[in-house]
Chains A and B, each alone.
Chain A
Amino acid sequence: MRFIRKRPYILFILPGFILYTAFVIYPLFSAMSISLYEWTGIGPKKFVGLANFVTLFFNPRISEMFWNALKNNFFYVLAELGIIMPLQILLAYLIFLRIKGYRIFQTLIFLPCVISTAVIGFFIMIVFDPNFGILNSLLKSIGLGQFQSGWFGDPDLAFPLFIVVATWVGIGYGMMLFIANLKGIPEQIIEASIIDGAGGVQRFFRVILPQLWPSLTNIIVLDTIWGLTIFDIPFIIGGPQGGVNNSLDFMNIFFYRYAFGNSYGGETAMGFGASISVVLFGLVLIVSIIQIKFLRNIRVEY
Protein backbone atom coordinates (compact mmCIF):
# COMPACT_ATOMS: atom_id res chain seq x y z
CA MET A 1 0.00 0.00 0.00
CA ARG A 2 2.81 2.40 0.88
CA PHE A 3 4.46 1.53 -2.41
CA ILE A 4 1.39 2.72 -4.27
CA ARG A 5 0.77 5.73 -2.05
CA LYS A 6 4.22 6.93 -2.98
CA ARG A 7 3.47 6.30 -6.65
CA PRO A 8 -0.12 7.51 -7.17
CA TYR A 9 0.29 7.48 -10.95
CA ILE A 10 0.08 3.68 -10.89
CA LEU A 11 -3.57 3.85 -9.91
CA PHE A 12 -4.27 6.33 -12.68
CA ILE A 13 -2.47 4.43 -15.41
CA LEU A 14 -3.06 0.79 -14.50
CA PRO A 15 -6.70 0.34 -15.64
CA GLY A 16 -5.98 1.94 -19.01
CA PHE A 17 -2.72 0.06 -19.33
CA ILE A 18 -4.40 -3.30 -18.79
CA LEU A 19 -7.28 -2.58 -21.15
CA TYR A 20 -5.03 -1.18 -23.87
CA THR A 21 -2.46 -3.96 -23.57
CA ALA A 22 -5.10 -6.69 -23.58
CA PHE A 23 -7.15 -5.45 -26.52
CA VAL A 24 -4.71 -3.46 -28.65
CA ILE A 25 -1.14 -4.67 -28.15
CA TYR A 26 -1.42 -8.30 -27.08
CA PRO A 27 -3.65 -9.33 -30.04
CA LEU A 28 -0.97 -8.22 -32.50
CA PHE A 29 1.40 -10.82 -31.07
CA SER A 30 -1.19 -13.44 -30.29
CA ALA A 31 -2.09 -13.51 -33.99
CA MET A 32 1.44 -14.73 -34.70
CA SER A 33 1.05 -17.75 -32.45
CA ILE A 34 -2.40 -18.60 -33.88
CA SER A 35 -0.94 -18.50 -37.38
CA LEU A 36 1.17 -21.56 -36.55
CA TYR A 37 -1.88 -23.76 -36.07
CA GLU A 38 -4.50 -25.37 -38.21
CA TRP A 39 -7.68 -24.36 -36.47
CA THR A 40 -11.26 -23.81 -37.56
CA GLY A 41 -11.88 -21.61 -34.54
CA ILE A 42 -13.65 -24.31 -32.54
CA GLY A 43 -12.33 -27.62 -31.34
CA PRO A 44 -8.71 -28.72 -31.08
CA LYS A 45 -5.79 -26.81 -32.58
CA LYS A 46 -3.19 -28.68 -34.57
CA PHE A 47 0.34 -27.29 -34.66
CA VAL A 48 1.53 -27.05 -38.26
CA GLY A 49 4.53 -24.74 -38.03
CA LEU A 50 4.79 -22.47 -41.02
CA ALA A 51 2.47 -24.53 -43.20
CA ASN A 52 -0.15 -21.76 -43.32
CA PHE A 53 2.42 -19.38 -44.74
CA VAL A 54 3.54 -21.96 -47.29
CA THR A 55 -0.08 -22.29 -48.40
CA LEU A 56 -0.44 -18.53 -48.53
CA PHE A 57 2.62 -18.03 -50.70
CA PHE A 58 2.75 -21.19 -52.79
CA ASN A 59 -0.66 -22.86 -53.08
CA PRO A 60 -1.52 -22.03 -56.71
CA ARG A 61 -5.15 -21.02 -56.11
CA ILE A 62 -4.67 -19.22 -52.83
CA SER A 63 -1.38 -17.50 -53.58
CA GLU A 64 -2.93 -16.07 -56.72
CA MET A 65 -5.64 -14.45 -54.56
CA PHE A 66 -3.02 -13.29 -52.08
CA TRP A 67 -0.83 -11.57 -54.66
CA ASN A 68 -3.85 -10.08 -56.36
CA ALA A 69 -5.08 -8.57 -53.09
CA LEU A 70 -1.62 -7.32 -52.21
CA LYS A 71 -1.27 -5.80 -55.68
CA ASN A 72 -4.56 -3.95 -55.21
CA ASN A 73 -3.41 -2.62 -51.83
CA PHE A 74 -0.14 -1.55 -53.41
CA PHE A 75 -1.82 0.34 -56.24
CA TYR A 76 -4.24 1.93 -53.81
CA VAL A 77 -1.37 3.22 -51.66
CA LEU A 78 0.29 4.44 -54.85
CA ALA A 79 -2.89 6.29 -55.85
CA GLU A 80 -3.17 7.82 -52.39
CA LEU A 81 0.36 9.15 -52.52
CA GLY A 82 0.51 9.99 -56.21
CA ILE A 83 -2.99 11.33 -56.89
CA ILE A 84 -4.89 12.03 -53.70
CA MET A 85 -2.08 13.69 -51.76
CA PRO A 86 -1.10 16.23 -54.46
CA LEU A 87 -4.81 17.09 -54.82
CA GLN A 88 -5.05 17.55 -51.07
CA ILE A 89 -2.12 19.94 -51.13
CA LEU A 90 -3.62 21.89 -54.04
CA LEU A 91 -7.01 22.17 -52.31
CA ALA A 92 -5.41 23.13 -49.01
CA TYR A 93 -3.42 25.85 -50.74
CA LEU A 94 -6.50 27.23 -52.51
CA ILE A 95 -8.40 27.38 -49.24
CA PHE A 96 -5.40 28.91 -47.50
CA LEU A 97 -5.41 31.61 -50.20
CA ARG A 98 -9.08 32.26 -49.34
CA ILE A 99 -10.43 31.88 -52.84
CA LYS A 100 -14.09 32.87 -53.12
CA GLY A 101 -16.28 30.53 -51.08
CA TYR A 102 -13.37 28.88 -49.31
CA ARG A 103 -15.24 28.38 -46.03
CA ILE A 104 -18.05 26.43 -47.66
CA PHE A 105 -15.62 24.45 -49.81
CA GLN A 106 -13.59 23.47 -46.79
CA THR A 107 -16.67 22.21 -44.95
CA LEU A 108 -18.22 20.37 -47.88
CA ILE A 109 -15.00 18.74 -49.08
CA PHE A 110 -14.51 17.42 -45.57
CA LEU A 111 -18.13 16.29 -45.12
CA PRO A 112 -17.76 12.79 -46.71
CA CYS A 113 -15.11 12.00 -44.05
CA VAL A 114 -17.76 12.03 -41.32
CA ILE A 115 -20.36 10.03 -43.24
CA SER A 116 -20.47 6.33 -42.39
CA THR A 117 -18.99 3.99 -44.95
CA ALA A 118 -22.29 2.14 -45.23
CA VAL A 119 -24.01 5.34 -46.36
CA ILE A 120 -21.09 6.06 -48.71
CA GLY A 121 -21.73 2.61 -50.14
CA PHE A 122 -25.36 3.56 -50.59
CA PHE A 123 -24.33 6.77 -52.40
CA ILE A 124 -22.14 4.71 -54.70
CA MET A 125 -25.08 2.46 -55.40
CA ILE A 126 -27.50 5.22 -56.31
CA VAL A 127 -24.94 6.72 -58.68
CA PHE A 128 -23.34 3.64 -60.24
CA ASP A 129 -25.90 0.85 -60.07
CA PRO A 130 -26.23 -0.46 -63.65
CA ASN A 131 -30.04 -0.71 -63.55
CA PHE A 132 -31.20 1.96 -61.14
CA GLY A 133 -28.20 4.25 -60.93
CA ILE A 134 -28.29 7.92 -61.76
CA LEU A 135 -25.30 7.74 -64.09
CA ASN A 136 -26.70 5.23 -66.56
CA SER A 137 -30.11 6.86 -66.71
CA LEU A 138 -28.46 10.24 -67.18
CA LEU A 139 -26.35 8.91 -70.06
CA LYS A 140 -29.42 7.42 -71.66
CA SER A 141 -31.52 10.56 -71.33
CA ILE A 142 -28.91 12.78 -72.97
CA GLY A 143 -28.50 10.36 -75.86
CA LEU A 144 -25.19 8.87 -74.81
CA GLY A 145 -26.67 5.45 -74.13
CA GLN A 146 -23.72 3.72 -75.77
CA PHE A 147 -21.54 4.83 -72.85
CA GLN A 148 -23.72 3.07 -70.30
CA SER A 149 -21.72 0.55 -68.33
CA GLY A 150 -21.82 -1.95 -65.51
CA TRP A 151 -19.44 0.37 -63.60
CA PHE A 152 -18.44 -1.56 -60.49
CA GLY A 153 -19.79 -4.72 -62.14
CA ASP A 154 -17.15 -4.37 -64.86
CA PRO A 155 -13.87 -5.93 -63.62
CA ASP A 156 -11.77 -3.53 -65.69
CA LEU A 157 -13.55 -0.45 -64.43
CA ALA A 158 -14.11 -1.40 -60.80
CA PHE A 159 -10.65 -0.59 -59.49
CA PRO A 160 -10.18 2.80 -61.21
CA LEU A 161 -13.71 3.75 -60.12
CA PHE A 162 -12.88 2.71 -56.58
CA ILE A 163 -9.91 5.09 -56.66
CA VAL A 164 -12.19 7.91 -57.79
CA VAL A 165 -14.65 7.18 -55.00
CA ALA A 166 -11.89 6.81 -52.40
CA THR A 167 -10.52 10.17 -53.47
CA TRP A 168 -13.90 11.78 -53.06
CA VAL A 169 -14.38 10.23 -49.61
CA GLY A 170 -10.92 10.70 -48.17
CA ILE A 171 -9.57 13.88 -49.69
CA GLY A 172 -10.89 16.16 -46.95
CA TYR A 173 -8.97 14.64 -44.08
CA GLY A 174 -5.45 15.19 -45.39
CA MET A 175 -6.54 18.54 -46.81
CA MET A 176 -7.44 19.69 -43.30
CA LEU A 177 -4.05 18.61 -41.96
CA PHE A 178 -2.31 20.53 -44.74
CA ILE A 179 -4.42 23.62 -44.09
CA ALA A 180 -3.53 23.52 -40.40
CA ASN A 181 0.12 23.22 -41.39
CA LEU A 182 -0.12 26.11 -43.85
CA LYS A 183 -1.65 28.35 -41.21
CA GLY A 184 1.38 27.67 -39.05
CA ILE A 185 3.87 29.01 -41.59
CA PRO A 186 5.41 32.22 -40.25
CA GLU A 187 4.11 35.31 -42.02
CA GLN A 188 7.59 36.71 -42.62
CA ILE A 189 8.44 33.80 -44.89
CA ILE A 190 5.45 34.54 -47.09
CA GLU A 191 5.99 38.28 -47.01
CA ALA A 192 9.64 37.82 -47.96
CA SER A 193 8.58 35.85 -51.02
CA ILE A 194 6.28 38.68 -52.07
CA ILE A 195 9.05 41.24 -51.77
CA ASP A 196 11.19 38.93 -53.90
CA GLY A 197 8.45 39.21 -56.48
CA ALA A 198 7.85 35.49 -56.82
CA GLY A 199 4.77 34.63 -58.89
CA GLY A 200 1.93 32.42 -57.68
CA VAL A 201 3.18 29.07 -58.97
CA GLN A 202 6.79 29.82 -58.16
CA ARG A 203 5.86 30.99 -54.68
CA PHE A 204 4.02 27.74 -54.10
CA PHE A 205 6.90 25.47 -55.11
CA ARG A 206 9.78 27.53 -53.71
CA VAL A 207 8.28 28.84 -50.48
CA ILE A 208 5.14 26.97 -49.46
CA LEU A 209 5.87 23.37 -50.38
CA PRO A 210 9.14 23.05 -48.39
CA GLN A 211 7.24 24.28 -45.32
CA LEU A 212 4.78 21.40 -45.67
CA TRP A 213 7.32 18.64 -45.06
CA PRO A 214 6.31 17.98 -41.44
CA SER A 215 2.69 17.21 -42.25
CA LEU A 216 3.75 15.52 -45.47
CA THR A 217 5.70 12.84 -43.62
CA ASN A 218 2.78 12.29 -41.24
CA ILE A 219 0.30 11.94 -44.04
CA ILE A 220 2.51 9.61 -46.06
CA VAL A 221 2.66 7.23 -43.10
CA LEU A 222 -1.04 7.47 -42.28
CA ASP A 223 -1.99 7.03 -45.94
CA THR A 224 0.24 4.00 -46.33
CA ILE A 225 -1.14 2.32 -43.23
CA TRP A 226 -4.74 3.09 -44.21
CA GLY A 227 -4.02 1.94 -47.74
CA LEU A 228 -2.68 -1.39 -46.50
CA THR A 229 -5.63 -1.98 -44.19
CA ILE A 230 -8.53 -0.65 -46.27
CA PHE A 231 -11.69 -2.68 -45.76
CA ASP A 232 -15.07 -0.94 -45.49
CA ILE A 233 -15.75 0.60 -48.87
CA PRO A 234 -14.50 -2.19 -51.17
CA PHE A 235 -16.24 -4.71 -48.89
CA ILE A 236 -19.52 -2.83 -49.11
CA ILE A 237 -19.28 -2.42 -52.88
CA GLY A 238 -17.74 -5.75 -53.82
CA GLY A 239 -18.81 -8.02 -50.97
CA PRO A 240 -16.64 -10.59 -49.17
CA GLN A 241 -15.62 -12.11 -52.51
CA GLY A 242 -13.76 -8.95 -53.44
CA GLY A 243 -15.85 -7.78 -56.38
CA VAL A 244 -16.16 -9.23 -59.87
CA ASN A 245 -13.04 -11.31 -60.69
CA ASN A 246 -11.51 -10.17 -57.38
CA SER A 247 -11.09 -6.71 -58.88
CA LEU A 248 -11.90 -5.15 -55.48
CA ASP A 249 -10.14 -7.70 -53.32
CA PHE A 250 -7.80 -6.30 -50.67
CA MET A 251 -5.71 -7.97 -47.97
CA ASN A 252 -8.20 -7.26 -45.23
CA ILE A 253 -11.12 -8.61 -47.25
CA PHE A 254 -9.10 -11.71 -48.18
CA PHE A 255 -8.39 -12.10 -44.45
CA TYR A 256 -12.04 -11.62 -43.50
CA ARG A 257 -13.11 -14.25 -46.02
CA TYR A 258 -11.01 -16.90 -44.32
CA ALA A 259 -11.15 -15.79 -40.68
CA PHE A 260 -14.88 -15.01 -40.47
CA GLY A 261 -16.36 -16.24 -43.72
CA ASN A 262 -16.63 -19.83 -44.89
CA SER A 263 -14.16 -19.95 -47.75
CA TYR A 264 -12.36 -22.94 -46.36
CA GLY A 265 -14.61 -25.83 -47.31
CA GLY A 266 -17.54 -24.18 -45.55
CA GLU A 267 -15.65 -23.52 -42.34
CA THR A 268 -13.80 -20.57 -40.90
CA ALA A 269 -10.04 -21.02 -41.00
CA MET A 270 -8.74 -19.01 -38.10
CA GLY A 271 -5.21 -20.38 -38.20
CA PHE A 272 -4.84 -19.63 -41.88
CA GLY A 273 -6.63 -16.29 -41.52
CA ALA A 274 -4.17 -15.33 -38.79
CA SER A 275 -1.28 -15.94 -41.18
CA ILE A 276 -2.77 -13.34 -43.56
CA SER A 277 -3.10 -10.79 -40.76
CA VAL A 278 0.47 -11.50 -39.66
CA VAL A 279 1.76 -10.68 -43.14
CA LEU A 280 -0.28 -7.50 -43.06
CA PHE A 281 1.06 -6.67 -39.61
CA GLY A 282 4.59 -7.20 -40.93
CA LEU A 283 4.00 -4.74 -43.75
CA VAL A 284 2.60 -2.11 -41.41
CA LEU A 285 5.50 -2.72 -39.04
CA ILE A 286 8.01 -2.08 -41.83
CA VAL A 287 6.30 1.20 -42.64
CA SER A 288 6.30 2.13 -38.95
CA ILE A 289 9.94 1.27 -38.47
CA ILE A 290 10.87 3.46 -41.41
CA GLN A 291 8.98 6.15 -39.57
CA ILE A 292 10.33 5.53 -36.05
CA LYS A 293 11.72 8.99 -36.34
CA PHE A 294 8.22 10.24 -36.95
CA LEU A 295 6.95 8.45 -33.83
CA ARG A 296 9.66 10.14 -31.80
CA ASN A 297 8.68 13.44 -33.29
CA ILE A 298 5.06 13.32 -32.23
CA ARG A 299 5.97 12.90 -28.59
CA VAL A 300 3.94 15.21 -26.43
CA GLU A 301 5.15 18.79 -26.14
CA TYR A 302 6.34 20.04 -22.80
Chain B
Amino acid sequence: MAEGKNVFVITKRERRIRLVYSIFLSLYCSIVVFLIFITFLGSFKTKSDLVRNTLGFPREFTLDSYKTLIFEDNFLRIFLNSTILTVLSIAGIVFISSLTAYGLSRFKFKYADTLQTYFLLGLMFPIQLGILPIFIMMRKLNMINNLFGMVLLYSANMSFPVFIFSVFFRTLPYALYEAAKVDGAGEFTIYFRIMLPLSKPVIATIALLSTITVWNDFYLPLVFLTKDNLRTVTLGVYRYMSNFLANWHLIFSAASLSLIPIIILFGFFSRNIISGITSGSLKQ
Protein backbone atom coordinates (compact mmCIF):
# COMPACT_ATOMS: atom_id res chain seq x y z
CA MET B 1 0.00 0.00 0.00
CA ALA B 2 1.28 3.44 -0.91
CA GLU B 3 2.66 5.37 2.04
CA GLY B 4 0.33 8.06 3.33
CA LYS B 5 -2.63 6.90 1.32
CA ASN B 6 -5.56 5.56 3.24
CA VAL B 7 -7.80 3.36 1.17
CA PHE B 8 -10.48 3.13 3.82
CA VAL B 9 -13.57 5.25 3.71
CA ILE B 10 -14.38 6.25 7.26
CA THR B 11 -17.81 6.99 8.57
CA LYS B 12 -18.34 9.48 11.37
CA ARG B 13 -19.13 6.73 13.83
CA GLU B 14 -15.98 4.85 12.90
CA ARG B 15 -13.91 7.98 13.33
CA ARG B 16 -15.26 8.39 16.83
CA ILE B 17 -14.43 4.79 17.71
CA ARG B 18 -10.89 5.29 16.43
CA LEU B 19 -10.47 8.37 18.56
CA VAL B 20 -11.45 6.38 21.66
CA TYR B 21 -8.81 3.80 20.77
CA SER B 22 -6.23 6.56 20.30
CA ILE B 23 -6.95 8.01 23.71
CA PHE B 24 -6.82 4.59 25.34
CA LEU B 25 -3.53 3.72 23.62
CA SER B 26 -1.99 7.04 24.64
CA LEU B 27 -2.66 6.15 28.26
CA TYR B 28 -1.35 2.63 27.74
CA CYS B 29 1.84 3.83 26.06
CA SER B 30 2.52 6.37 28.77
CA ILE B 31 3.17 3.46 31.18
CA VAL B 32 6.48 2.51 29.57
CA VAL B 33 7.56 6.13 29.18
CA PHE B 34 6.69 6.80 32.80
CA LEU B 35 8.60 3.76 34.09
CA ILE B 36 11.74 4.62 32.14
CA PHE B 37 11.46 8.24 33.20
CA ILE B 38 11.22 7.53 36.93
CA THR B 39 14.08 5.04 36.63
CA PHE B 40 16.39 7.72 35.26
CA LEU B 41 15.05 10.33 37.68
CA GLY B 42 15.43 7.98 40.64
CA SER B 43 19.05 7.31 39.77
CA PHE B 44 19.88 10.92 40.70
CA LYS B 45 18.23 10.84 44.11
CA THR B 46 19.75 10.14 47.51
CA LYS B 47 18.66 6.93 49.15
CA SER B 48 16.43 8.58 51.74
CA ASP B 49 14.89 10.86 49.13
CA LEU B 50 14.12 7.84 47.00
CA VAL B 51 12.40 5.93 49.79
CA ARG B 52 10.11 8.81 50.77
CA ASN B 53 9.70 10.35 47.35
CA THR B 54 9.77 7.59 44.76
CA LEU B 55 7.93 9.40 42.01
CA GLY B 56 8.65 13.09 42.46
CA PHE B 57 11.55 15.17 41.27
CA PRO B 58 14.76 14.81 43.28
CA ARG B 59 15.07 17.21 46.23
CA GLU B 60 18.69 17.53 45.21
CA PHE B 61 20.42 16.06 42.18
CA THR B 62 23.17 13.76 43.28
CA LEU B 63 25.49 11.30 41.58
CA ASP B 64 25.98 9.38 44.81
CA SER B 65 24.50 6.11 43.66
CA TYR B 66 26.52 6.17 40.43
CA LYS B 67 29.62 6.85 42.50
CA THR B 68 28.88 3.89 44.76
CA LEU B 69 28.25 1.75 41.71
CA ILE B 70 31.54 2.66 40.11
CA PHE B 71 33.91 3.07 43.03
CA GLU B 72 32.61 0.48 45.47
CA ASP B 73 30.78 -2.11 43.41
CA ASN B 74 33.15 -2.27 40.46
CA PHE B 75 30.40 -1.44 37.99
CA LEU B 76 32.79 -0.11 35.36
CA ARG B 77 34.15 -3.63 35.10
CA ILE B 78 30.61 -4.99 34.85
CA PHE B 79 29.73 -2.50 32.13
CA LEU B 80 32.94 -3.39 30.32
CA ASN B 81 32.10 -7.12 30.55
CA SER B 82 28.77 -6.54 28.84
CA THR B 83 30.40 -4.36 26.21
CA ILE B 84 33.18 -6.83 25.42
CA LEU B 85 30.72 -9.70 25.34
CA THR B 86 28.38 -7.85 23.01
CA VAL B 87 31.06 -6.64 20.60
CA LEU B 88 32.86 -9.97 20.33
CA SER B 89 29.60 -11.87 19.98
CA ILE B 90 28.45 -9.64 17.14
CA ALA B 91 31.76 -10.22 15.37
CA GLY B 92 31.45 -13.95 15.92
CA ILE B 93 27.81 -14.15 14.88
CA VAL B 94 28.27 -12.07 11.73
CA PHE B 95 31.41 -13.90 10.69
CA ILE B 96 30.31 -17.48 11.20
CA SER B 97 26.70 -17.14 10.10
CA SER B 98 27.47 -15.16 6.93
CA LEU B 99 30.12 -17.70 5.99
CA THR B 100 27.70 -20.58 6.54
CA ALA B 101 24.81 -18.88 4.78
CA TYR B 102 27.02 -18.05 1.81
CA GLY B 103 28.06 -21.67 1.47
CA LEU B 104 24.45 -22.79 1.70
CA SER B 105 22.99 -20.33 -0.76
CA ARG B 106 25.69 -19.66 -3.37
CA PHE B 107 26.56 -23.22 -4.30
CA LYS B 108 24.30 -25.89 -5.67
CA PHE B 109 24.85 -29.32 -4.20
CA LYS B 110 22.84 -32.35 -3.30
CA TYR B 111 21.99 -31.67 0.33
CA ALA B 112 21.79 -27.88 0.23
CA ASP B 113 18.07 -27.80 0.97
CA THR B 114 18.28 -30.34 3.76
CA LEU B 115 21.15 -28.46 5.36
CA GLN B 116 19.25 -25.20 5.10
CA THR B 117 16.38 -26.78 7.03
CA TYR B 118 18.83 -28.30 9.51
CA PHE B 119 20.16 -24.84 10.31
CA LEU B 120 16.61 -23.65 10.96
CA LEU B 121 15.98 -26.20 13.72
CA GLY B 122 17.47 -23.89 16.34
CA LEU B 123 14.47 -21.61 15.92
CA MET B 124 12.29 -24.44 17.19
CA PHE B 125 14.38 -25.51 20.17
CA PRO B 126 15.41 -22.76 22.58
CA ILE B 127 18.89 -23.10 24.06
CA GLN B 128 17.48 -23.83 27.53
CA LEU B 129 16.43 -27.30 26.39
CA GLY B 130 20.04 -28.38 25.94
CA ILE B 131 21.61 -26.22 28.60
CA LEU B 132 22.68 -29.08 30.84
CA PRO B 133 24.87 -30.89 28.27
CA ILE B 134 26.15 -27.48 27.17
CA PHE B 135 27.11 -26.77 30.76
CA ILE B 136 28.94 -30.09 31.02
CA MET B 137 30.76 -29.47 27.73
CA MET B 138 31.73 -25.96 28.73
CA ARG B 139 33.07 -27.25 32.00
CA LYS B 140 35.21 -29.79 30.17
CA LEU B 141 36.49 -27.02 27.90
CA ASN B 142 37.21 -24.91 30.99
CA MET B 143 34.88 -22.21 29.74
CA ILE B 144 32.63 -21.63 32.71
CA ASN B 145 33.22 -18.06 33.89
CA ASN B 146 34.86 -17.23 30.61
CA LEU B 147 33.62 -14.50 28.30
CA PHE B 148 35.08 -16.23 25.26
CA GLY B 149 32.98 -19.30 26.01
CA MET B 150 29.88 -17.12 26.01
CA VAL B 151 30.89 -15.66 22.64
CA LEU B 152 31.15 -19.21 21.34
CA LEU B 153 27.64 -20.01 22.55
CA TYR B 154 26.08 -16.86 21.12
CA SER B 155 27.79 -17.53 17.79
CA ALA B 156 26.62 -21.14 17.76
CA ASN B 157 23.02 -19.99 18.04
CA MET B 158 23.01 -19.06 14.39
CA SER B 159 19.64 -20.16 13.04
CA PHE B 160 18.15 -16.72 12.65
CA PRO B 161 21.21 -14.93 11.20
CA VAL B 162 21.96 -17.83 8.83
CA PHE B 163 18.39 -17.62 7.59
CA ILE B 164 18.51 -13.84 7.06
CA PHE B 165 21.91 -13.99 5.35
CA SER B 166 20.77 -16.86 3.10
CA VAL B 167 17.75 -14.92 1.92
CA PHE B 168 20.00 -11.99 1.15
CA PHE B 169 22.79 -13.86 -0.66
CA ARG B 170 20.23 -15.39 -2.98
CA THR B 171 19.22 -11.92 -4.13
CA LEU B 172 22.77 -11.09 -5.28
CA PRO B 173 23.15 -11.59 -9.05
CA TYR B 174 24.98 -14.74 -10.02
CA ALA B 175 26.70 -12.87 -12.87
CA LEU B 176 28.69 -10.95 -10.28
CA TYR B 177 30.12 -14.18 -8.96
CA GLU B 178 30.86 -15.50 -12.45
CA ALA B 179 32.60 -12.32 -13.54
CA ALA B 180 34.93 -12.45 -10.54
CA LYS B 181 35.51 -16.12 -11.20
CA VAL B 182 36.54 -15.39 -14.79
CA ASP B 183 38.98 -12.78 -13.50
CA GLY B 184 40.60 -15.58 -11.55
CA ALA B 185 39.49 -14.63 -8.04
CA GLY B 186 39.43 -17.43 -5.47
CA GLU B 187 36.26 -18.38 -3.61
CA PHE B 188 37.25 -16.66 -0.37
CA THR B 189 38.46 -13.56 -2.20
CA ILE B 190 35.07 -13.31 -3.86
CA TYR B 191 33.36 -13.75 -0.53
CA PHE B 192 35.45 -11.24 1.44
CA ARG B 193 36.06 -8.67 -1.29
CA ILE B 194 32.77 -8.69 -3.15
CA MET B 195 29.95 -10.41 -1.31
CA LEU B 196 30.58 -9.17 2.26
CA PRO B 197 30.91 -5.49 1.27
CA LEU B 198 27.61 -5.85 -0.60
CA SER B 199 25.90 -7.24 2.47
CA LYS B 200 26.50 -4.24 4.71
CA PRO B 201 22.78 -3.58 5.25
CA VAL B 202 22.15 -7.18 6.35
CA ILE B 203 25.24 -7.15 8.53
CA ALA B 204 23.93 -3.98 10.15
CA THR B 205 20.56 -5.59 10.82
CA ILE B 206 22.07 -8.72 12.31
CA ALA B 207 24.50 -6.68 14.39
CA LEU B 208 21.67 -4.50 15.69
CA LEU B 209 19.44 -7.42 16.68
CA SER B 210 22.35 -9.34 18.19
CA THR B 211 23.41 -6.35 20.24
CA ILE B 212 19.99 -6.23 21.83
CA THR B 213 19.86 -9.99 22.41
CA VAL B 214 23.32 -10.28 23.90
CA TRP B 215 23.27 -7.07 25.94
CA ASN B 216 19.91 -8.01 27.45
CA ASP B 217 20.48 -11.73 27.89
CA PHE B 218 19.78 -13.04 31.34
CA TYR B 219 19.75 -16.84 31.14
CA LEU B 220 23.21 -17.67 29.77
CA PRO B 221 25.07 -15.23 32.03
CA LEU B 222 23.06 -16.56 34.99
CA VAL B 223 24.21 -20.10 34.26
CA PHE B 224 27.74 -19.49 32.99
CA LEU B 225 29.03 -16.34 34.70
CA THR B 226 28.97 -16.99 38.41
CA LYS B 227 32.06 -15.01 39.39
CA ASP B 228 31.38 -11.49 40.66
CA ASN B 229 33.97 -9.79 38.45
CA LEU B 230 32.53 -11.40 35.32
CA ARG B 231 28.94 -10.29 35.88
CA THR B 232 27.09 -8.57 33.05
CA VAL B 233 24.95 -5.49 33.56
CA THR B 234 21.70 -7.48 33.57
CA LEU B 235 23.10 -9.80 36.23
CA GLY B 236 24.25 -6.75 38.17
CA VAL B 237 20.70 -5.39 38.19
CA TYR B 238 19.38 -8.80 39.20
CA ARG B 239 21.83 -9.19 42.09
CA TYR B 240 20.84 -5.81 43.51
CA MET B 241 17.20 -6.78 43.28
CA SER B 242 17.65 -9.97 45.23
CA ASN B 243 18.65 -7.78 48.19
CA PHE B 244 16.79 -4.68 47.26
CA LEU B 245 16.21 -3.18 50.70
CA ALA B 246 19.91 -2.50 51.05
CA ASN B 247 20.38 -1.54 47.41
CA TRP B 248 17.14 0.30 46.64
CA HIS B 249 18.93 3.39 45.31
CA LEU B 250 21.62 1.44 43.47
CA ILE B 251 19.11 -0.53 41.40
CA PHE B 252 17.80 2.66 39.83
CA SER B 253 21.23 3.65 38.54
CA ALA B 254 22.18 0.09 37.56
CA ALA B 255 18.92 -0.25 35.63
CA SER B 256 19.59 3.12 34.01
CA LEU B 257 23.03 1.96 32.88
CA SER B 258 21.45 -1.16 31.45
CA LEU B 259 18.77 0.85 29.65
CA ILE B 260 20.86 3.69 28.17
CA PRO B 261 22.53 1.79 25.29
CA ILE B 262 19.25 0.13 24.38
CA ILE B 263 17.26 3.36 24.45
CA ILE B 264 19.87 5.06 22.28
CA LEU B 265 19.88 2.21 19.77
CA PHE B 266 16.11 2.04 19.76
CA GLY B 267 15.81 5.80 19.40
CA PHE B 268 17.95 5.82 16.27
CA PHE B 269 17.15 2.47 14.73
CA SER B 270 13.70 1.36 15.87
CA ARG B 271 12.55 1.02 12.27
CA ASN B 272 15.51 -1.16 11.33
CA ILE B 273 15.08 -3.26 14.45
CA ILE B 274 11.41 -3.83 13.72
CA SER B 275 11.91 -4.59 10.04
CA GLY B 276 14.76 -6.95 10.92
CA ILE B 277 12.63 -8.89 13.34
CA THR B 278 9.69 -9.14 10.99
CA SER B 279 11.74 -9.93 7.88
CA GLY B 280 12.57 -13.45 9.02
CA SER B 281 9.20 -14.78 9.95
CA LEU B 282 7.02 -13.72 7.06
CA LYS B 283 8.79 -15.23 4.12
CA GLN B 284 6.25 -17.82 3.13
Contact = CB atoms under 8 A, between A and B. Distances in A.
Q: Check if A and B associate.
A: yes
A61 interface: no
B1 A187 contact: yes
A100 B19 contact: yes
B54 A12 contact: no
A116 B132 contact: no
Interface stretch (A13-21, A48-56, A63-71): A13-21
Contacts of B126: 225-226, 229, 284
A41 B124 CA distance: 27
A107 B275 CA distance: 12
Interface string A25-40: 1111011001000000
B238 A284 contact: no
A119 B259 contact: yes
Size class of the B contact interface (CB-based, 8 Å) = 35 or more
A114 B282 CA distance: 20
Interface in A194-248: 194, 199-200, 214-215, 218, 222, 225-226, 229, 231-232, 236, 239
Contacts of B38: 126
A99 B212 CA distance: 29
Given A99-B21, A118-B235, A173-B277, A24 B96 contact: no
B137 A126 contact: no
Interface stretch (A75-83, A150-158, A291-299): A291-299
B32 interface: yes
A20 B19 CA distance: 50
Contact of B133 (A30, A284, A295): A30
Contacts of B274: 106, 110, 176
A275 B125 CA distance: 16
Nearest to A283: B129
B133 A34 contact: yes
B241 A121 contact: yes
A84 interface: no
B100 A12 contact: yes
B222 to A, nearest CB: 8
Contacts of A16: 96-97, 99-100, 103, 119, 158, 162
A211 to B, nearest CB: 12
B9 A27 contact: no
A31 B128 CA distance: 11
